[in-house]
Amino acid sequence: MSAALLLAIGGLTSAGIYLITARSLSRIILGFSLLGHAAVLALMASGGPAGEAPIAPTDGIANPLPQALSLTAIVISFGLTLFLLALAARQRTLTGDDLVEDDIEDRRVAAAGDDA
Amino acid sequence: MNALVAIIIVGPIIGATLGLMARDFPRRRDAITLLGLGAASAAAFAMLVDVAANGTSVVRVGGWGPELGIVLVADLFAALVLPVALTIIFVVELFAIGQRRTAWGANPELAGPLLGVLTSGVGLAMLTGDLFTLFVAFELILVSSYVLLTHQGQKAQVGSGMTYVVMNLFSSTLFLFGLAFVYAATGTVNMALLAERIPELSDGVRLGIGAWFFVVFGTKAAVFPLFSWLPDSYPTAPTTITAVFAGLLTKIGIYAMIRFHTLMGMDELGSIMLILAGVTMIVGALGALAQSDVKRILSFHIISQIGYMLMGLGLFSVAGTTGAILFLVHHMPVKTVLFLVGGLIENDRGTSRLEKTGGLASRRPLIAALFAVPALSLAGLPPFSGFVAKFAVVSAGIEAANTPIVIAALVGGVLTLLSMTKIWLGVFWGESDDDLANEAPGNRPLMLGATALAVAGTITISMLAGTLFDLSERAAIDLRSDTAYIEEVTS
């Protein structure tokens, strides 16, 4: 595995994790896009070094199986990004922002603690 | 066998598609959806009979071998869990059809077809023989569950749906990373080939992969400390949807864990699993005691019960795995029924909060009876199915001479009984507040009938306990000695 690929996977993962810890859903969506790219890159890298296009049977072709897996994963993460965007838009129409809220019951328990 | 597998996986999704086309005609839509789900459950029962008699059978999709293609493996473990899982969805859909006829029925066009897609995912997750198809099946289940949870677009559902989606999406991404690690280390994602190649890896890599997938499946299964998303998101959804989630979704995580970790021989992870299992049991049961809403109490109990299944797995013995499988089979219907009864209470009283309900035992004795059977079963009292399952798990713990986990399991059982008593006192005894009840839509006969059918199912499970125990034991022996599985798939 090349150092550049390794650095790319590491960089994308750290940036993705950082964004996911945010409270606003639009940042979380960006984080998931980056994290998804990192996972797909890792999946590609797991197939070994790059080679010729696997369609023509020559020597030294690239391993096609991880590529097929990656394609499936990309399609799934694309669909989920769209769903999350729709969810963020819905949250915005309902509350005026797209922040992930505390659970109602959690807030009730926390308030009970403040009173005591 | 090919036909049975096809019906289980493709049947519900075809029903869902046709159901969506007929969405403006409620009766036709419901009939089509039910037909798809019913066909899948019938095929699952036929598969159980076939597998119990003739042993494991393997379907190679498109004729490709395990190196490159997708194989579907119907072994006894899958064949035992599938009929229960699919029948639950069928019963819940019956309940849902009844509920849609009431004033509180919500967005009826989508829920039935989405349930069909979810059913296909459940079938695929249980039958698949490779990790990547398991990932796809998880996504199929999760995507339909995201939409089921949030499609009404109310504030509470969108809010808690966000937590649910983000948490599950994160564990799916971890799953994808795990696939990359596994493929880089072994060059395959097929589970039978992995079972041969993973034991040859160095201990560090092998246990690293095991621990990684423990986190992935543990998040789906809501194992301590990865459970906090569950009680926040489940209670906000409509009853029928929560009932399916409660009965199935976390259990799919445990199912995948039992299959993966026993097949790959991750026995060294047993001790950490047992510690987490004990904590999960106690924390879940204590969390349930602190709640004051029927649905929230039941949500925390899902977590507590996951601990018992994890305990059976973590013992890494035939007896332990038998107990875990039996617990899985018992728990899915019982949990679903309890949530359905929660829905009956809510529809009758207008709320499921304990302080606002009361006196149902004299006014609605049928609902009280429908609650009592699964509640006692959940607490593990004889002669109900929970007793058999809990007995199997605990006696496996005693056999392994692991005192702390046995004590944790028994304490968890007592705490469960306590919080079931709390529901009983709040909902069925005492005085009731009628302000909300006057606006409640009440229950349709179909809803009561579906719940009664499910309760009858749990009683059947306790009556067939001997047969089920034998079958679970055979499945556990197959899982523990993975040679049979490997031979069937690779030959």
Per the document, the length of chain B is 491
Rounded to 10°, the helix A64-95/B131-150 angle is 10
Per-residue pLDDT band for B442 (boundaries 50, 70, 90) equals confident
pLDDT tens for each residue of B174-218: 999 999 999 999 988 999 899 888 988 898 999 999 999 999 999
A101 SS3 class: coil
Provide the pLDDT confidence category of residue A113 given band limits of 50, 70 and 90: low
**Which residues have a Cβ under 8 Å from the Cβ of B105 and sit 6 or more positions away?**
B99
Beta partners for residue B71, in sequence order:
B60
Across A101-110, B132-141, B219-228, the highest mean pLDDT is recorded for B132-141
Mean pLDDT (whole number) for A44-60 = 76
Question: Which pLDDT value is given to residue A103?
Answer: 64
Give the separation between CA B172 and CA B180, rounded to whole angstroms: 13
User: Each residue of B21-30: pLDDT tens digit?
Assistant: 887 787 888 8
Is B179's CB within 8 Å of A69's CB? yes
Interval B265-275: pLDDT, tens:
888 888 999 99
Q: What is the mean pLDDT of residues B160-185?
A: 90
Report, as an integer, the average pLDDT of B83-88.
Answer: 93
- Mean pLDDT for B118-147 is 92
Which residues in chain B are closer than 8 Å to A72, comparing Cβ atoms?
132, 136
A66: phi > 0 → left, psi -120 to 50 → alpha, else beta; which? alpha
Write out pLDDT tens, residues B402-416. 888 899 988 988 888
The neighbouring-strand residues paired with B72 are B59, B128
- Using a CB-CB cut-off of 8 Å, the residues of chain A touching B147 are 83
- To test the contact with chain B by mutation, choose from A6, A63, A77, A90 the residue with the greatest count of B C-beta atoms within 10 A, namely A90
Q: What HEC string does chain B produce? A: CHHHHHHHHHHHHHHHHHHHHCCCCHHHHHHHHHHHHHHHHHHHHHHHHHHHHHCCEEEEHHHCCCCCCCEEEECHHHHHHHHHHHHHHHHHHHHHHHHHCCCCCCCHHHHHHHHHHHHHHHHHHHHECEHHHHHHHHHHHHHHHHHHHHCCCCHHHHHHHHHHHHHHHHHHHHHHHHHHHHHHHHCCCEHHHHHHHHHHCCHHHHHHHHHHHHHHHHHHHCCCCCCCHHHHHHHHCCHHHHHHHHHHHHHHHHHHHHHHHHHCCCHHHHHHHHHHHHHHHHHHHHHHHCCCEHHHHHHHHHHHHHHHHHHHHHCCCHHHHHHHHHHHHHHHHHHHHHHHHHHHHHHHHCCCEHHHCCCHHHHCHHHHHHHHHHHHHHHCCCCCHHHHHHHHHHHHHHHCCCHHHHHHHHHHHHHHHHHHHHHHHHHHCCCCCHHHHCCCCCCCHHHHHHHHHHHHHHHHHHHCHHHHHHHHHHHHHHHHCCHHHHHHHHC
φ, ψ dihedrals at B329, nearest 5°: -65, -40
Asked if B170 is an interface residue toward chain A (Cβ–Cβ < 8 A), one would say yes
Binned at pLDDT 50, 70 and 90, residue B103 comes out as: low
**Among the ranges B61-65, B314-318, B384-388, B486-490, which has the highest mean pLDDT value?**
B314-318
Contact state of A47 with B176 under an 8 Å Cβ cutoff: no
pLDDT at B436 over 70: no
Output the pLDDT for position A104: 64
Express as a percent the part of chain B with pLDDT over 90.
31
For residue B432, the model assigns a pLDDT of 67
**Tokens coding A75:** 């399609």
Q: Å from B153 to nearest chain A CA?
A: 7
| Beta carbons of B409 and B397 less than 8 angstroms apart | yes
Centre a 10 Å sphere on the Cβ of residue A49 and count the other Cβ atoms it contains: 10
**Cross-chain residue pair A42–B180, CB shorter than 8 Å:** yes
pLDDT at position B106 is 56
Task: Give the three-state DSSP class for A46.
Answer: coil
**Most confident listed range (A65-69, B39-43, B106-110, B337-341):** B39-43
Residue type for A63, please? N
Question: A6-36 pLDDT, tens per residue?
Answer: 999 999 999 999 999 888 888 999 999 999 9
C-beta of residue A49 within 8 angstroms of C-beta of residue A81: no
Element at A95 (helix H, strand E): helix A64-95
Q: How confident is the model at residue B247 (pLDDT cuts 50, 70, 90)?
A: confident
Structure tokens at A114: 């403040």
Which residue range is the domain that position A33 belongs to?
3-115
- Give yes or no for residue B440 having a pLDDT over 80: no
Lowest-confidence segment of A51-60, A87-96, B83-92, B306-315 by average pLDDT: A51-60
Residue with tokens 């005492």, as numbered in its chain? B430
pLDDT at A63 over 60: yes
| Contact between residue B335 and residue B247 where contact means Cβ atoms under 8 Å apart | yes
Contacts of A33 (CB under 8 A, 6+ apart): A16, A77, A81
Question: A-chain residues within 8 Å CB-CB of B231?
Answer: 105
Q: Of residues B237 and B146, which shows the higher confidence score?
A: B146
pLDDT attached to residue B274: 92
Q: Is B279 an 8 Å CB contact of chain A?
A: no
- What residues are paired with B58 via a beta bridge? B73
Whichever domain contains A88, its CATH number is 1.10.287
CA dihedral (B6, B9, B10, B11) positive or negative: positive
- For position B108, what pLDDT does the model report? 61
Closest residue in A to B149 (Cα) is A87
Put simply, the answer to whether B232 touches A39 (Cβ < 8 Å) is no
Vertex B428: Cα angle to B424 and B430 (nearest 5): 105
Tens-digit pLDDT profile for residues B446-480:
888 888 888 888 888 888 888 999 999 999 998 88
pLDDT of B46 reads 93
* Separation of alpha carbons A41 and A12, rounded Å: 10
User: What pLDDT is recorded for position A33?
Assistant: 93
User: Is B176 in contact with A73 (Cβ distance < 8 A)?
Assistant: yes
| Residue closest to B293 by CA, chosen among B231, B336, B211 | B231
Substitution target from B117, B128, B151, B177 for chain A, most A beta carbons within 10 A:
B177
Q: Can you say whether residue B230 is alpha, beta or left, with left for phi > 0 and alpha for psi between -120 and 50 degrees?
A: alpha
Q: What is the pLDDT of residue A19?
A: 94
More confidently predicted of A53 and B384: B384
pLDDT of residue B105: 55
Searching chain A, which residue's CA lies closest to the CA of residue B146? A83
User: In this predicted complex, what is the ipTM?
Assistant: 0.89
Contact criterion met (CB < 8 Å) for A104 and B156? yes
- What is the structure's pLDDT at B171? 92
**Could you give the C-alpha distances from B431 to B346, B355, B358, in angstroms and in order?**
16, 9, 5
* Interface touch B158/A87, C-beta < 8 Å: yes
Cα separation, B442 vs B99, in Å, equals 9
pLDDT of A106 higher than 80: no
What is the structure's pLDDT at B86? 93
Question: Count of residues for chain A?
Answer: 116
Domain count, chain A: 1
pLDDT band at B291 (very low <50, low <70, confident <90, very high): confident
* Residue B349, pLDDT above cutoff 80: no
Interface of A with B in 48-67 (CB under 8 A): 65-66
Query: Cβ of B183 under 8 Å from any chain A Cβ?
Result: yes
Q: State the nearest Cα–Cα gap between B236 and chain A, in angstroms.
A: 10
Number of Cβ pairs closer than 8 Å across A and B? Answer: 89
Higher confidence at residue B429 or residue B82?
A: B82
